[in-house]
Amino acid sequence: MTMKKISSLTLLLLMVCLTYGQSKDEMEIRKLEKQWTKLLDEGDTAALLDIWSPDYVVNNTKGKILTPRR
């Protein structure tokens, strides 16, 4: 096998591992992020308050610090 073929196969294997080698935790986090984004887009604040921790803190786009209690 030539060095070029070995390099190509190594790169392909690396790409497959990075694409499909996600842990169950990572997959769950990505699923929750998609759900969260959907709720934000829909403006469903009641559902967001159900999933947010009471201690959750975020800076909005205007630099204001917000928590679920506000």
Domain assignment present for residue 38? The answer is yes
Domain assignment present for residue 55? The answer is yes
- Summarize pLDDT for 33-42 with one digit per residue, the tens: 899 889 989 9
Cα–Cα distance measured from residue 7 to residue 5, given in angstroms and rounded to the nearest whole number = 5
In this prediction, what percent of the chain has a pLDDT beyond 90?
7
The model's pTM is: 0.52
Q: What is the pLDDT of residue 42?
A: 93
Domain assignment present for residue 18? The answer is no
Domain assignment present for residue 64? The answer is yes
Number of domains in the chain: 1
Domain assignment present for residue 56? The answer is yes
Domain assignment present for residue 43? The answer is yes
Q: Provide CB contacts within 8 A for 49, sequence distance 6+.
A: 68
- Domain coverage including residue 59: 24-70
Is residue 46 packed enough to be buried (19+ CB in 10 Å), middle (13-18) or exposed (0-12)? exposed
- Summarize pLDDT for 45-67 with one digit per residue, the tens: 889 888 888 888 888 888 898 88
